[in-house]
């Protein structure tokens, strides 16, 4: 069974540029999560989807971050414009149901210069 797939694995951009991350969850998993992991810290939830509905986006900085999961399968997280402080690892996870075991992708490491 394929795991959670994320791309790209690494991204370097200049500040004020836009960037997008893509995640394909495990097949059949209804719940999808995006986490932010700063260096030396644990992951922090940005947004959680149940199918195509964002049910918890309270921690998403909506002035510059957006996300979508149009068909309830794969998802895209976007930052526009990026700031230096956005340099971090962006993790995607999925679970079969809410409260179920979460499976994590390898993450996208973003560096903003």
Partner 1 sequence: GDSVTQMEGPVTLSEEAFLTINCTYTATGYPSLFWYVQYPGEGLQLLLKATKADDKGSNKGFEATYRKETTSFHLEKGSVQVSDSAVYFCALTTSSGNTPLVFGKGTRLSVIA
The residue ranges that bind partner 1 (CB under 8 A) are 3-4, 33, 40-45, 48, 55-56, 91, 93, 98-99, 101-107
Kindly write down the DSSP assignment for every residue of 4-47, as one continuous string: -EEE-SEEEE-TT--EEEEEE--TT--EEEEEEE-TTS--EEEE
Closer residue to partner 1 (CB): 27 or 99: 99
Closer residue to partner 1 (CB): 72 or 81: 72
- In degrees and rounded to multiples of 5, residue 84 shows phi and psi of -55, -40
Closer residue to partner 1 (CB): 18 or 100: 100
Residue matched to tokens 């370097």: 12
24 in Cβ contact with 83 (< 8 Å): no
Kindly state the smallest distance separating residue 105's Cβ from partner 1, in Å. 5
Kindly state the smallest distance separating residue 16's Cβ from partner 1, in Å. 29
């Amino acid at each position: 069974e394929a795991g959670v797939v994320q791309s790209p694995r690494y991204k370097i951009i200049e500040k004020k540029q836009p960037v997008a991350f893509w995640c394909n969850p495990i097949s059949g998993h209804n719940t999808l999560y995006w986490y932010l992991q700063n260096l030396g810290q644990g992951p922090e939830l940005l947004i959680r989807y149940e199918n195509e509905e964002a049910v918890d986006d309270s921690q998403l900085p909506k002035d510059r971050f957006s996300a979508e999961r149009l068909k309830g399968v794969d998802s895209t997280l976007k930052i526009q414009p990026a700031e230096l402080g956005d340099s971090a690892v962006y993790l995607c996870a999925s679970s079969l149901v809410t409260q179920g075991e979460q499976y994590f992708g390898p993450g996208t490491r973003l560096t903003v210069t």
